[in-house]
Chains A and B, each alone.
Chain A
Amino acid sequence: MRLWVFSLALIAVACAKTKTGRVDPNDDSVMMGTGLESADVEAMAALSKKIISLPELTGPGVDAIPRIAIYPVRNETRFDFDSELLVRNLATELQANANGRVRFVVRNRQDLAVLEEERQKKREGEYTSNKQVTKSGADYYLTGVAQSISSASGKLESDAIWIFFELRDPEAAEVIWADKYLTKKVGRAGVIYR
């Protein structure tokens, strides 16, 4: 009798319907894997407040509105991700926090090659303002690189992912700000997949 009930319950569970629900993007997914998740992208955006408070951008000596070009994050991890999503989210957060004190331009991957050319133009004197802004350029550029250490042993896999951000002055080839975001996740392979 018990076996019958158990079997019927099993069949009922197997046939149970699931329902899509709204969740907090900062929450961990039920099946999230060990790569970057929406919660990481959101957490990274918190770095924008630190950037906005830099004296080089919003300090008393700054007389013109500085312009920052934001480039995609270089991916050195084992996870493919939309690096423009990271950048766009960060840019949106920066815009929201800047209140017009800083301007931003989001650049794509192809624009990275333009950077060196722009630097050369600056040296040749093609300035549009006394802040050394080129015709197509910016005063500073924000870029980053994602790196990871991955390991797996038996049923466990772990990934530590660092995303290093840098704000650079292209003219002086100087890093004026750097920070990092670190996340580490450990996944456990289910017994049915081992």
Chain B
Amino acid sequence: MIRSLLAVLLLLAACRSGREYVAPRASTAELTYQAILADGSRGVAEEDEALWACELGTAAMMVRREHEAWEAFHMASRTMGTLESTPSESRRAILGAESTKRWKGDPHERCMAAYYKGILYWRRGDLDNAAACFKSGLFADSYSEVGEHQVDFAALSFLLGWVSWIRGQDEQARFSFQEAAQHAPENLLFDDPAPRDHNVLAILEVGQGPRKVRRGAYGSMASYQDIPTSAAAVEIRVDGVSQGVSALATDLFHQATTRGKKTIDGIRKGKAVFKAASTTAGIVMINRGARDDNAGLVLAGAGALLAGALTNASADVRYWTLLPAEIQFLPLRLAPGMHEVDVIVLDQSHRPIPGWKKTFRCRVEERPGQLWWFRMQPGLRVYGLTDRPEGN
């Protein structure tokens, strides 16, 4: 009888937690993109829509579908742009599983959504909205821990500085470059970025972003794990001539782990304590009630057990799996015309990793502020957006 009751309660609890969305991964970006799209056509739960859109947007960038990527990030930003919640959504997430709330990402994920959307605006020539996105990303970072880690997303500051310079806003550019230098002092590029001396800015993303996992009693705590990679930096050679090695601007594991404490962490901790206490009390009361032939105590124990079983203390560990580990930059000064651009991935000692390189045929135009984006993916793959997107 008691076993049957427990089984029913566990089933109920499991039903309430629902399925948590995890984006499919495949061997190539194209297959990953297609698999994420297929997920969408099968229907993604409303609470996972923004996460799905972020994954789709990143995959779309890797397969050079810039407009689709922009649309995906635009869709995601409608949810991620506000941290408001409806009363019923709050109730569900507090009393039930946290993962029933709409995914809006942690601060570093909201920064990254704004960063990608800004890049896509920039590449289509809409510098006003690119700057707006970088500002929005920096604003999202202000939700990180108060103190030295607040608004320390140097990559966004640097991009805002560069785009501001192109727009002729020298004062904003100077301020943003100073901010970038302050938050990434080891990056010598930030000391003197000199956008007027370069006509192409290369963004290089390396490694896999941090993995979000559960830990603690009943998985009530969420934390991030770093995923090691052999890639440390990237060298760019143009027509066989080295243009230098990229420098680190933002480490996403650092960003993810300096987000500070959240109110919901305390709520989950309280739920874990309640779950443990009511389960223990329920078992004790049922045992004692059965021993003393006390039906009332058995019923009360069953109630406590039910309350424990229905309490879902699990942390929401949905996370953006296609994020990189690091954002790096390398400004270039290139003659207008067609070039052979070799993107060579380097290890910790700045030696090329055998087989991890790709050559792109790129057109450089006679204008400042061209933006190239490269992504180094596991499996020795390199993806890139170089030439201007069609229609611009």
Contact = CB atoms under 8 A, between A and B. Distances in A.
A14 B83 contact: no
B84 to A, nearest CB: 5
B306 A3 contact: yes
B307 to A, nearest CB: 6
A192 B101 contact: yes
B129 A81 contact: yes
B136 A194 contact: no
Given A190-B83, A191-B264, A193-B85, A10 B129 contact: no
A3 B264 contact: no
Classify the interface of chain B: helix, strand, loop or mixed: helix
Given A7-B310, A13-B91, A192-B94, A78 B16 contact: no
Contact of A194 (B15, B131, B264): B264
B194 to A, nearest CB: 24
B271 interface: no
A66 interface: no
Contacts of B126: 109
Interface in A75-100: 75-81, 83
B275 interface: no
Contact of A79 (B132, B142, B263): B132
B90 A191 contact: yes
B129 A75 contact: yes
B43 to A, nearest CB: 14
A194 B96 contact: no
Contacts of B131: 75-76
A188 B94 CA distance: 17
B85 A74 contact: no
Nearest to B304: A3
A10 B92 contact: yes
A190 B89 contact: yes
A85 to B, nearest CB: 12
A43 B267 CA distance: 41
A157 B263 CA distance: 17
A19 B355 CA distance: 53
B306 A152 contact: no
A192 to B, nearest CB: 4
Contact of B132 (A3, A14, A80, A189): A80
Which of B84, B136, B307 neighbours the largest number of chain A CB atoms within 10 Å of its CB? B84
A31 B132 contact: no
Contact of B81 (A7, A35, A74): A35
Contacts of A81: 129, 132
B100 A3 contact: no
B142 A190 contact: no
Interface string B123-156: 0011011011101100100110000000000000
A191 to B, nearest CB: 6
A192 B90 contact: yes
Interface in A158-174: none
Nearest to A18: B46
A191 B165 CA distance: 39
A33 B79 CA distance: 9
Contacts of A38: none
A11 B91 CA distance: 11
A14 B82 CA distance: 22
A113 to B, nearest CB: 12
Of B82, B117, B132, most buried by chain A (CB within 10 Å of CB) is B82
Contacts of A152: 139, 142-143
Contact of A4 (B82, B88, B263, B306): B306
A30 interface: yes
Given A80-B117, A152-B139, A152-B142, A190 B90 contact: yes
Contacts of B85: 190-193
Nearest to B172: A76
Nearest to B130: A80
Interface in B91-124: 91-96, 98, 100-101, 104, 117, 121
Contact of B89 (A4, A35, A189, A192): A192
Given A4-B306, A13-B88, A191-B90, A75 B264 contact: no
A132 interface: no
A78 B136 contact: yes
Interface in A138-178: 150, 152, 157
B57 to A, nearest CB: 14
A3 to B, nearest CB: 6
Interface string A179-194: 0000000011111111
B289 interface: no
Interface in A59-82: 74-81
B83 A193 contact: yes
5 contacts: A10-B91, A80-B117, A80-B129, A81-B132, A193-B83
5 A-B pairs with least C-beta separation: A190-B85, A189-B83, A33-B82, A78-B135, A80-B129
Interface of A: 3-4, 7, 10-11, 13-14, 30-35, 74-81, 83, 109, 150, 152, 157, 187-194
